[in-house]
Chains A and B, each alone.
Chain A
Amino acid sequence: MTKAFLHIKRFFILIGLQVIVLNNVQISGYLNPYIYILFIMLLPPKMPKALVLSLAFLTGFTVDVFENSYGIHAAASVFMAYVRPTVLSLVSVKGGEDLETIGIRQLRFARFFTYSGILCILHHFTLFYIEAFRLNEFIDTFVRALTSTVISLLIILLIESVRSNSHK
Protein backbone atom coordinates (compact mmCIF):
# COMPACT_ATOMS: atom_id res chain seq x y z
CA MET A 1 0.00 0.00 0.00
CA THR A 2 2.76 2.42 0.92
CA LYS A 3 4.53 1.49 -2.30
CA ALA A 4 1.47 2.39 -4.35
CA PHE A 5 1.31 5.69 -2.51
CA LEU A 6 4.95 6.35 -3.35
CA HIS A 7 4.24 5.90 -7.07
CA ILE A 8 1.13 8.09 -6.94
CA LYS A 9 3.12 10.82 -5.20
CA ARG A 10 5.87 10.51 -7.81
CA PHE A 11 3.27 10.76 -10.60
CA PHE A 12 1.92 14.07 -9.27
CA ILE A 13 5.35 15.55 -8.56
CA LEU A 14 6.73 14.71 -12.02
CA ILE A 15 3.60 15.75 -13.93
CA GLY A 16 3.46 18.96 -11.88
CA LEU A 17 7.11 19.70 -12.57
CA GLN A 18 6.55 19.05 -16.27
CA VAL A 19 3.33 21.01 -16.74
CA ILE A 20 3.84 23.93 -14.37
CA VAL A 21 7.59 24.50 -14.51
CA LEU A 22 9.24 22.94 -17.58
CA ASN A 23 6.47 23.68 -20.08
CA ASN A 24 6.75 27.35 -19.15
CA VAL A 25 10.51 27.55 -19.50
CA GLN A 26 10.67 28.19 -23.23
CA ILE A 27 14.22 28.89 -24.19
CA SER A 28 14.26 27.60 -27.73
CA GLY A 29 12.40 25.20 -29.99
CA TYR A 30 15.38 22.90 -29.74
CA LEU A 31 15.19 22.53 -25.98
CA ASN A 32 11.93 20.91 -24.93
CA PRO A 33 12.72 18.65 -21.98
CA TYR A 34 10.18 15.97 -21.07
CA ILE A 35 11.04 14.49 -17.72
CA TYR A 36 7.66 12.97 -16.78
CA ILE A 37 8.84 9.73 -18.44
CA LEU A 38 10.98 9.11 -15.34
CA PHE A 39 7.74 7.98 -13.69
CA ILE A 40 7.41 5.13 -16.21
CA MET A 41 11.13 4.31 -15.99
CA LEU A 42 10.91 3.86 -12.23
CA LEU A 43 7.86 1.57 -12.14
CA PRO A 44 8.77 -1.81 -10.57
CA PRO A 45 10.00 -4.45 -13.07
CA LYS A 46 7.64 -7.02 -11.57
CA MET A 47 4.55 -4.94 -12.23
CA PRO A 48 2.23 -6.59 -14.80
CA LYS A 49 3.22 -5.30 -18.24
CA ALA A 50 -0.34 -4.49 -19.27
CA LEU A 51 -0.65 -2.29 -16.17
CA VAL A 52 2.61 -0.50 -17.02
CA LEU A 53 1.26 0.18 -20.52
CA SER A 54 -2.00 1.57 -19.12
CA LEU A 55 -0.16 3.80 -16.64
CA ALA A 56 2.08 5.04 -19.44
CA PHE A 57 -1.00 5.92 -21.47
CA LEU A 58 -2.51 7.78 -18.53
CA THR A 59 0.71 9.72 -17.92
CA GLY A 60 1.12 10.68 -21.57
CA PHE A 61 -2.53 11.61 -21.92
CA THR A 62 -2.37 13.92 -18.88
CA VAL A 63 0.59 15.77 -20.39
CA ASP A 64 -1.26 15.87 -23.74
CA VAL A 65 -4.22 17.63 -22.19
CA PHE A 66 -2.05 20.36 -20.66
CA GLU A 67 0.11 20.73 -23.78
CA ASN A 68 -2.75 20.63 -26.30
CA SER A 69 -0.79 17.98 -28.15
CA TYR A 70 -3.67 15.57 -28.83
CA GLY A 71 -2.42 12.07 -28.08
CA ILE A 72 1.23 12.31 -29.15
CA HIS A 73 2.64 12.04 -25.64
CA ALA A 74 0.32 9.10 -24.96
CA ALA A 75 1.52 7.34 -28.12
CA ALA A 76 5.22 7.91 -27.37
CA SER A 77 4.88 6.92 -23.69
CA VAL A 78 3.03 3.69 -24.48
CA PHE A 79 5.72 2.81 -27.02
CA MET A 80 8.42 3.49 -24.44
CA ALA A 81 6.65 1.33 -21.86
CA TYR A 82 6.34 -1.48 -24.42
CA VAL A 83 10.09 -1.61 -25.11
CA ARG A 84 11.02 -1.09 -21.44
CA PRO A 85 11.34 -4.83 -20.57
CA THR A 86 13.68 -5.35 -23.53
CA VAL A 87 15.90 -2.44 -22.50
CA LEU A 88 15.81 -3.68 -18.91
CA SER A 89 17.11 -7.08 -19.99
CA LEU A 90 20.08 -5.31 -21.61
CA VAL A 91 21.20 -3.78 -18.33
CA SER A 92 20.40 -6.57 -15.87
CA VAL A 93 21.06 -10.29 -15.92
CA LYS A 94 17.59 -11.64 -15.29
CA GLY A 95 15.71 -8.91 -17.15
CA GLY A 96 15.13 -7.10 -13.90
CA GLU A 97 13.08 -9.98 -12.48
CA ASP A 98 15.32 -10.05 -9.42
CA LEU A 99 14.89 -6.33 -8.75
CA GLU A 100 12.13 -4.92 -6.55
CA THR A 101 12.65 -1.38 -7.76
CA ILE A 102 14.72 0.42 -10.37
CA GLY A 103 17.07 3.29 -9.65
CA ILE A 104 20.68 4.42 -9.63
CA ARG A 105 21.25 2.54 -6.37
CA GLN A 106 20.02 -0.77 -7.78
CA LEU A 107 21.59 -0.54 -11.24
CA ARG A 108 24.63 1.65 -10.48
CA PHE A 109 25.19 4.80 -12.52
CA ALA A 110 26.55 3.33 -15.76
CA ARG A 111 23.72 0.85 -16.21
CA PHE A 112 21.04 3.30 -15.15
CA PHE A 113 22.50 5.80 -17.62
CA THR A 114 22.23 3.23 -20.44
CA TYR A 115 18.71 2.24 -19.38
CA SER A 116 17.31 5.79 -19.10
CA GLY A 117 19.33 6.96 -22.11
CA ILE A 118 17.91 4.36 -24.51
CA LEU A 119 14.36 4.87 -23.27
CA CYS A 120 14.69 8.65 -23.43
CA ILE A 121 16.01 8.53 -27.01
CA LEU A 122 13.21 6.19 -28.13
CA HIS A 123 10.54 8.27 -26.43
CA HIS A 124 11.76 11.64 -27.71
CA PHE A 125 12.35 10.55 -31.30
CA THR A 126 8.91 8.90 -31.48
CA LEU A 127 7.37 12.02 -29.98
CA PHE A 128 9.05 14.59 -32.22
CA TYR A 129 8.50 12.62 -35.41
CA ILE A 130 4.81 12.08 -34.67
CA GLU A 131 4.54 15.77 -33.88
CA ALA A 132 6.17 16.96 -37.10
CA PHE A 133 4.74 14.16 -39.28
CA ARG A 134 6.48 15.56 -42.33
CA LEU A 135 9.42 14.04 -44.09
CA ASN A 136 10.65 17.35 -45.49
CA GLU A 137 11.40 18.46 -41.95
CA PHE A 138 13.38 15.29 -41.28
CA ILE A 139 16.74 16.85 -40.38
CA ASP A 140 15.29 19.69 -38.38
CA THR A 141 13.14 17.27 -36.37
CA PHE A 142 16.18 15.06 -35.82
CA VAL A 143 18.18 17.94 -34.33
CA ARG A 144 15.25 19.01 -32.15
CA ALA A 145 14.77 15.48 -30.82
CA LEU A 146 18.47 15.04 -30.17
CA THR A 147 19.03 18.31 -28.29
CA SER A 148 15.88 17.78 -26.25
CA THR A 149 16.94 14.23 -25.40
CA VAL A 150 20.25 15.47 -24.03
CA ILE A 151 18.64 18.07 -21.79
CA SER A 152 15.88 15.68 -20.62
CA LEU A 153 18.41 13.00 -19.78
CA LEU A 154 20.53 15.46 -17.80
CA ILE A 155 17.54 16.54 -15.71
CA ILE A 156 16.34 12.94 -15.26
CA LEU A 157 19.78 11.81 -14.01
CA LEU A 158 19.94 14.81 -11.69
CA ILE A 159 16.51 14.09 -10.18
CA GLU A 160 17.30 10.40 -9.92
CA SER A 161 20.62 10.90 -8.14
CA VAL A 162 19.04 13.30 -5.66
CA ARG A 163 16.17 10.86 -5.10
CA SER A 164 18.33 7.79 -4.57
CA ASN A 165 20.69 9.65 -2.22
CA SER A 166 17.84 10.90 -0.07
CA HIS A 167 16.55 7.34 0.39
CA LYS A 168 19.67 6.05 2.08
Chain B
Amino acid sequence: MRNLFAFLYRHHVFFVFILLEIVAFGILIQSHHYQGSRFASSAQAWSGKVLEYFENSVDYFSLKKINHLLAEENAQLRNRISTSPISHKKNNALPHQYISAKVIKSSYNKRNNYLTLNKGRLNGIEKGMGVCVNEGVVGIVRDVTDNYATVMSVLNKHAVISSRFTKSNHFGEIVWDGKSHHFAQLRSVEKYVDVSIGDTLTTNSFSSIFPEGILLGTVNRFERDDSENFYKIEIDLSVDYSNIDYVYVIKNLHGKERLELESKLKEND
Protein backbone atom coordinates (compact mmCIF):
# COMPACT_ATOMS: atom_id res chain seq x y z
CA MET B 1 0.00 0.00 0.00
CA ARG B 2 2.77 2.36 0.90
CA ASN B 3 4.45 1.52 -2.38
CA LEU B 4 1.29 2.45 -4.22
CA PHE B 5 1.16 5.86 -2.59
CA ALA B 6 4.83 6.36 -3.28
CA PHE B 7 4.22 5.45 -6.92
CA LEU B 8 1.24 7.82 -7.20
CA TYR B 9 3.22 10.60 -5.57
CA ARG B 10 6.25 10.14 -7.78
CA HIS B 11 4.13 10.41 -10.91
CA HIS B 12 1.52 12.82 -9.62
CA VAL B 13 2.37 15.44 -12.26
CA PHE B 14 1.60 12.94 -15.02
CA PHE B 15 -1.69 11.95 -13.39
CA VAL B 16 -2.75 15.58 -12.97
CA PHE B 17 -1.89 16.13 -16.64
CA ILE B 18 -3.99 13.15 -17.76
CA LEU B 19 -6.87 14.15 -15.51
CA LEU B 20 -6.99 17.73 -16.81
CA GLU B 21 -6.79 16.56 -20.42
CA ILE B 22 -9.69 14.16 -19.81
CA VAL B 23 -11.74 17.02 -18.38
CA ALA B 24 -10.90 19.28 -21.37
CA PHE B 25 -11.77 16.62 -23.94
CA GLY B 26 -14.87 15.77 -21.91
CA ILE B 27 -16.08 19.35 -22.35
CA LEU B 28 -15.32 19.17 -26.07
CA ILE B 29 -17.10 15.85 -26.63
CA GLN B 30 -20.08 16.87 -24.54
CA SER B 31 -20.44 19.98 -26.70
CA HIS B 32 -21.22 17.82 -29.73
CA HIS B 33 -24.32 16.43 -28.11
CA TYR B 34 -27.38 18.42 -28.81
CA GLN B 35 -28.88 17.69 -25.42
CA GLY B 36 -27.13 18.40 -22.20
CA SER B 37 -26.14 21.73 -20.77
CA ARG B 38 -22.85 23.25 -21.78
CA PHE B 39 -21.29 25.30 -19.07
CA ALA B 40 -18.27 26.25 -21.16
CA SER B 41 -20.07 28.78 -23.31
CA SER B 42 -20.04 32.53 -23.51
CA ALA B 43 -23.75 32.55 -22.75
CA GLN B 44 -22.66 32.29 -19.11
CA ALA B 45 -23.79 35.32 -17.13
CA TRP B 46 -20.28 36.46 -16.13
CA SER B 47 -18.71 36.26 -19.58
CA GLY B 48 -21.86 37.64 -21.18
CA LYS B 49 -21.67 40.72 -18.97
CA VAL B 50 -18.03 41.35 -19.88
CA LEU B 51 -18.71 41.00 -23.61
CA GLU B 52 -21.82 43.18 -23.44
CA TYR B 53 -19.96 45.89 -21.56
CA PHE B 54 -17.28 46.18 -24.22
CA GLU B 55 -19.73 45.89 -27.10
CA ASN B 56 -21.77 48.77 -25.67
CA SER B 57 -18.71 50.97 -25.49
CA VAL B 58 -18.08 50.74 -29.23
CA ASP B 59 -21.75 50.80 -30.17
CA TYR B 60 -22.01 54.47 -31.12
CA PHE B 61 -19.76 54.07 -34.11
CA SER B 62 -22.19 51.81 -35.92
CA LEU B 63 -25.44 53.69 -35.22
CA LYS B 64 -25.49 55.46 -38.55
CA LYS B 65 -25.10 52.23 -40.48
CA ILE B 66 -27.76 50.48 -38.42
CA ASN B 67 -30.21 53.34 -39.00
CA HIS B 68 -29.67 53.03 -42.71
CA LEU B 69 -30.22 49.26 -42.65
CA LEU B 70 -33.42 49.60 -40.65
CA ALA B 71 -34.82 52.21 -43.00
CA GLU B 72 -34.11 49.95 -45.94
CA GLU B 73 -35.71 46.98 -44.27
CA ASN B 74 -38.78 49.08 -43.41
CA ALA B 75 -39.17 50.02 -47.03
CA GLN B 76 -38.89 46.39 -48.09
CA LEU B 77 -41.51 45.29 -45.60
CA ARG B 78 -43.88 48.04 -46.75
CA ASN B 79 -43.46 46.87 -50.31
CA ARG B 80 -44.17 43.31 -49.34
CA ILE B 81 -47.39 44.26 -47.56
CA SER B 82 -48.66 46.29 -50.48
CA THR B 83 -47.82 43.66 -53.10
CA SER B 84 -49.14 40.52 -51.42
CA PRO B 85 -52.78 40.62 -50.41
CA ILE B 86 -52.55 37.03 -49.18
CA SER B 87 -50.35 37.88 -46.24
CA HIS B 88 -53.14 40.08 -44.86
CA LYS B 89 -55.54 37.22 -44.72
CA LYS B 90 -53.12 34.75 -43.28
CA ASN B 91 -51.78 37.18 -40.75
CA ASN B 92 -53.41 35.53 -37.75
CA ALA B 93 -52.19 32.09 -38.63
CA LEU B 94 -48.49 32.96 -39.06
CA PRO B 95 -46.60 30.07 -37.47
CA HIS B 96 -43.44 32.07 -36.77
CA GLN B 97 -42.61 34.75 -34.29
CA TYR B 98 -39.51 36.94 -34.56
CA ILE B 99 -37.47 38.10 -31.58
CA SER B 100 -34.86 40.78 -32.25
CA ALA B 101 -31.53 40.57 -30.44
CA LYS B 102 -28.23 42.38 -30.44
CA VAL B 103 -24.96 40.61 -31.23
CA ILE B 104 -22.43 41.26 -28.45
CA LYS B 105 -19.72 39.02 -29.83
CA SER B 106 -19.14 37.30 -33.12
CA SER B 107 -16.35 35.63 -35.02
CA TYR B 108 -16.02 34.54 -38.63
CA ASN B 109 -12.38 33.57 -39.06
CA LYS B 110 -12.20 30.50 -36.82
CA ARG B 111 -12.88 26.95 -37.97
CA ASN B 112 -15.98 26.96 -35.76
CA ASN B 113 -17.69 30.30 -35.39
CA TYR B 114 -20.28 31.44 -32.89
CA LEU B 115 -22.22 34.58 -32.07
CA THR B 116 -23.32 35.69 -28.61
CA LEU B 117 -26.66 37.48 -28.26
CA ASN B 118 -27.83 39.78 -25.48
CA LYS B 119 -31.15 37.98 -25.05
CA GLY B 120 -31.88 34.61 -23.53
CA ARG B 121 -34.45 32.32 -22.00
CA LEU B 122 -36.30 35.18 -20.30
CA ASN B 123 -36.95 36.72 -23.72
CA GLY B 124 -38.32 33.48 -25.13
CA ILE B 125 -35.21 32.19 -26.86
CA GLU B 126 -34.72 28.43 -26.78
CA LYS B 127 -32.10 25.99 -27.92
CA GLY B 128 -32.40 25.03 -31.60
CA MET B 129 -34.18 28.14 -32.87
CA GLY B 130 -33.16 29.64 -36.20
CA VAL B 131 -31.40 32.99 -36.42
CA CYS B 132 -31.46 35.31 -39.44
CA VAL B 133 -30.88 38.86 -40.58
CA ASN B 134 -32.60 40.70 -43.38
CA GLU B 135 -30.08 39.36 -45.90
CA GLY B 136 -30.52 35.72 -44.93
CA VAL B 137 -29.74 32.87 -42.56
CA VAL B 138 -27.14 33.38 -39.81
CA GLY B 139 -27.27 30.21 -37.73
CA ILE B 140 -28.95 28.13 -35.04
CA VAL B 141 -29.21 28.83 -31.29
CA ARG B 142 -26.83 26.55 -29.44
CA ASP B 143 -26.85 27.46 -25.71
CA VAL B 144 -29.22 29.61 -23.71
CA THR B 145 -28.96 31.10 -20.24
CA ASP B 146 -31.45 33.49 -18.64
CA ASN B 147 -30.13 36.62 -20.33
CA TYR B 148 -27.78 35.45 -23.10
CA ALA B 149 -27.65 32.98 -25.95
CA THR B 150 -24.95 31.64 -28.23
CA VAL B 151 -25.59 30.93 -31.89
CA MET B 152 -23.76 28.38 -34.01
CA SER B 153 -23.07 30.26 -37.22
CA VAL B 154 -23.36 28.71 -40.69
CA LEU B 155 -19.56 29.11 -40.63
CA ASN B 156 -19.07 26.08 -38.39
CA LYS B 157 -18.05 22.51 -39.16
CA HIS B 158 -21.06 21.20 -37.19
CA ALA B 159 -23.61 23.28 -39.11
CA VAL B 160 -25.61 21.68 -41.91
CA ILE B 161 -28.42 23.79 -43.37
CA SER B 162 -30.87 22.15 -45.68
CA SER B 163 -31.75 24.28 -48.69
CA ARG B 164 -33.49 24.26 -52.06
CA PHE B 165 -33.03 25.91 -55.44
CA THR B 166 -35.75 28.49 -55.90
CA LYS B 167 -36.03 27.75 -59.61
CA SER B 168 -36.20 23.96 -59.50
CA ASN B 169 -37.04 23.07 -55.89
CA HIS B 170 -34.17 20.58 -55.79
CA PHE B 171 -32.69 19.87 -52.41
CA GLY B 172 -29.10 20.41 -51.18
CA GLU B 173 -27.18 20.72 -47.93
CA ILE B 174 -25.03 23.74 -47.13
CA VAL B 175 -21.81 23.10 -45.22
CA TRP B 176 -18.67 25.18 -44.69
CA ASP B 177 -15.11 24.08 -45.44
CA GLY B 178 -13.52 26.70 -43.19
CA LYS B 179 -11.69 28.68 -45.85
CA SER B 180 -13.46 31.93 -46.66
CA HIS B 181 -16.34 33.57 -44.81
CA HIS B 182 -17.86 34.65 -48.12
CA PHE B 183 -18.34 31.15 -49.52
CA ALA B 184 -19.91 27.88 -48.38
CA GLN B 185 -20.29 24.52 -50.12
CA LEU B 186 -23.42 22.81 -51.32
CA ARG B 187 -23.51 19.02 -51.25
CA SER B 188 -25.96 16.22 -52.05
CA VAL B 189 -27.10 17.83 -55.30
CA GLU B 190 -27.48 15.03 -57.81
CA LYS B 191 -26.01 15.28 -61.26
CA TYR B 192 -29.22 15.36 -63.26
CA VAL B 193 -30.20 18.67 -61.61
CA ASP B 194 -29.87 21.71 -63.85
CA VAL B 195 -27.47 24.10 -62.11
CA SER B 196 -26.19 27.42 -63.40
CA ILE B 197 -24.19 30.25 -61.93
CA GLY B 198 -26.29 32.78 -60.07
CA ASP B 199 -29.05 30.35 -59.03
CA THR B 200 -30.62 31.35 -55.74
CA LEU B 201 -30.82 29.05 -52.73
CA THR B 202 -33.29 29.46 -49.89
CA THR B 203 -34.30 27.46 -46.84
CA ASN B 204 -36.78 24.67 -47.48
CA SER B 205 -39.72 23.36 -45.55
CA PHE B 206 -37.99 20.14 -44.42
CA SER B 207 -36.77 21.56 -41.15
CA SER B 208 -38.86 23.15 -38.46
CA ILE B 209 -36.05 25.57 -37.59
CA PHE B 210 -36.40 28.07 -40.42
CA PRO B 211 -39.52 29.15 -42.26
CA GLU B 212 -39.46 28.41 -45.97
CA GLY B 213 -37.87 30.89 -48.34
CA ILE B 214 -35.19 32.65 -46.29
CA LEU B 215 -32.25 33.52 -48.52
CA LEU B 216 -29.00 31.57 -48.15
CA GLY B 217 -26.91 32.55 -51.16
CA THR B 218 -26.31 32.17 -54.85
CA VAL B 219 -24.29 29.68 -56.86
CA ASN B 220 -20.84 31.11 -57.44
CA ARG B 221 -19.06 28.21 -59.09
CA PHE B 222 -19.84 24.57 -59.81
CA GLU B 223 -18.03 21.49 -61.02
CA ARG B 224 -19.36 18.29 -62.52
CA ASP B 225 -16.99 15.42 -62.00
CA ASP B 226 -17.93 12.33 -64.03
CA SER B 227 -16.58 9.93 -61.44
CA GLU B 228 -18.88 11.20 -58.73
CA ASN B 229 -22.64 11.24 -58.35
CA PHE B 230 -22.93 14.72 -56.96
CA TYR B 231 -22.03 18.22 -58.01
CA LYS B 232 -19.34 20.25 -56.32
CA ILE B 233 -20.96 23.62 -55.80
CA GLU B 234 -19.66 26.77 -54.16
CA ILE B 235 -22.21 29.18 -52.71
CA ASP B 236 -21.75 32.92 -52.37
CA LEU B 237 -23.34 33.53 -48.96
CA SER B 238 -25.85 36.35 -48.87
CA VAL B 239 -25.00 37.38 -45.31
CA ASP B 240 -21.82 39.33 -44.62
CA TYR B 241 -20.66 37.61 -41.44
CA SER B 242 -18.03 40.24 -40.75
CA ASN B 243 -20.75 42.78 -40.24
CA ILE B 244 -23.69 41.63 -38.11
CA ASP B 245 -25.11 43.92 -35.42
CA TYR B 246 -28.71 42.88 -34.93
CA VAL B 247 -30.40 39.56 -35.66
CA TYR B 248 -33.84 38.00 -35.53
CA VAL B 249 -34.39 34.78 -33.64
CA ILE B 250 -37.18 32.76 -35.17
CA LYS B 251 -39.60 31.01 -32.91
CA ASN B 252 -41.63 28.32 -34.65
CA LEU B 253 -44.95 28.26 -32.84
CA HIS B 254 -45.91 24.94 -34.37
CA GLY B 255 -42.47 23.42 -34.02
CA LYS B 256 -43.21 21.28 -31.00
CA GLU B 257 -46.33 19.84 -32.56
CA ARG B 258 -44.42 18.95 -35.69
CA LEU B 259 -41.55 17.33 -33.80
CA GLU B 260 -43.96 15.22 -31.77
CA LEU B 261 -45.63 14.01 -34.91
CA GLU B 262 -42.32 13.21 -36.59
CA SER B 263 -40.95 11.38 -33.57
CA LYS B 264 -44.07 9.21 -33.60
CA LEU B 265 -43.24 8.22 -37.15
CA LYS B 266 -39.76 7.17 -36.06
CA GLU B 267 -41.16 5.07 -33.22
CA ASN B 268 -43.40 3.23 -35.65
CA ASP B 269 -40.43 2.42 -37.85
Where the two chains meet, the residues of A that have a C-beta atom closer than 8 Å to any C-beta of B are 19-20, 23, 26-29, 31-32, 49-50, 53-54, 56-57, 60-61, 64-72, 74-75, 78-79, 82, 128, 130-132, 134, 137, 140-141, 144
Question: Could you tell me if B28 and A53 are in contact, using CB atoms closer than 8 angstroms?
Answer: no
> How far is B109's CA from A146's CA once the two chains are assembled, in angstroms?
15
Collect the chain A residues with CB atoms within 8 Å of residue B157's CB.
132, 134
Question: Please, which residue of chain B has its CB at the minimum distance from the CB of A27?
Answer: B109
A131 to chain B minimum Cβ distance, whole angstroms, is 5
B interface: dominant SS: mixed
Known: A68-B112, A70-B41. 17 other contacts (CB 8 A): A19-B50, A28-B109, A29-B180, A32-B109, A65-B40, A65-B47, A66-B51, A68-B142, A68-B150, A69-B112, A70-B40, A71-B26, A74-B23, A131-B112, A132-B157, A141-B111, A144-B111
Question: Could you tell me if A75 and B28 are in contact, using CB atoms closer than 8 angstroms?
Answer: yes
Where the two chains meet, the residues of B that have a C-beta atom closer than 8 Å to any C-beta of A are 12-13, 16-17, 20-21, 23-28, 30-31, 38, 40-42, 44, 47, 50-51, 54, 105, 107-112, 114, 116, 142, 150, 157, 177-181, 242
Collect the chain A residues with CB atoms within 8 Å of residue B25's CB.
71, 75
> How far is B142's CA from A108's CA once the two chains are assembled, in angstroms?
47
Collect the chain A residues with CB atoms within 8 Å of residue B23's CB.
57, 71, 74
- Between A and B, 25 residue pairs with Cβ closer than 8 Å are A28-B109, A29-B111, A29-B179, A29-B181, A50-B12, A53-B17, A56-B20, A64-B27, A66-B42, A66-B50, A67-B107, A68-B42, A68-B150, A70-B31, A70-B41, A71-B28, A71-B31, A72-B28, A74-B27, A75-B24, A132-B157, A132-B178, A134-B157, A140-B179, A141-B111
> How far is B181's CA from A141's CA once the two chains are assembled, in angstroms?
16
Collect the chain B residues with CB atoms within 8 Å of residue A71's CB.
23-28, 31, 40
> How far is B18's CA from A79's CA once the two chains are assembled, in angstroms?
9
Q: Which 10 A-B pairs have the closest CB atoms?
A: A71-B27, A75-B24, A68-B114, A70-B31, A74-B24, A71-B28, A71-B24, A49-B13, A29-B109, A26-B109
Question: Could you tell me if A26 and B107 are in contact, using CB atoms closer than 8 angstroms?
Answer: yes
> How far is B109's CA from A11's CA once the two chains are assembled, in angstroms?
25
Question: Could you tell me if A132 and B21 are in contact, using CB atoms closer than 8 angstroms?
Answer: no
Collect the chain A residues with CB atoms within 8 Å of residue B110's CB.
29, 32, 67, 69, 131
> How far is B108's CA from A110's CA once the two chains are assembled, in angstroms?
36
Question: Could you tell me if B16 and A70 are in contact, using CB atoms closer than 8 angstroms?
Answer: no
Question: Could you tell me if B107 and A60 are in contact, using CB atoms closer than 8 angstroms?
Answer: no
> How far is B50's CA from A38's CA once the two chains are assembled, in angstroms?
22
Q: Which of A68, A132, A144 contacts B116 (CB 8 A)?
A: A68
Collect the chain A residues with CB atoms within 8 Å of residue B47's CB.
65-66
Collect the chain A residues with CB atoms within 8 Å of residue B38's CB.
70
Q: A26-B108, A32-B109, A70-B31 are in contact. Are A57 and B114 (CB under 8 A)?
A: no
Q: Which of A29, A74, A132 contacts B20 (CB 8 A)?
A: A74
Interface centre among A53, A71, A130, A144 (most CB of B within 10 A): A71
Question: Please, which residue of chain A has its CB at the minimum distance from the CB of B153?
Answer: A68
Question: Could you tell me if A68 and B20 are in contact, using CB atoms closer than 8 angstroms?
Answer: no
Question: Please, which residue of chain B has its CB at the minimum distance from the CB of A73?
Answer: B24
> How far is B12's CA from A50's CA once the two chains are assembled, in angstroms?
8
Question: Could you tell me if A140 and B24 are in contact, using CB atoms closer than 8 angstroms?
Answer: no
Collect the chain A residues with CB atoms within 8 Å of residue B180's CB.
29
> How far is B112's CA from A23's CA once the two chains are assembled, in angstroms?
13
> How far is B40's CA from A31's CA once the two chains are assembled, in angstroms?
24
> How far is B22's CA from A57's CA once the two chains are assembled, in angstroms?
11
Collect the chain A residues with CB atoms within 8 Å of residue B28's CB.
70-72, 75, 130
Q: A66-B51, A71-B28 are in contact. Are A54 and B20 (CB under 8 A)?
A: yes
A127 to chain B minimum Cβ distance, whole angstroms, is 10
Collect the chain B residues with CB atoms within 8 Å of residue A49's CB.
13, 16
Collect the chain A residues with CB atoms within 8 Å of residue B30's CB.
70
Question: Could you tell me if A79 and B42 are in contact, using CB atoms closer than 8 angstroms?
Answer: no
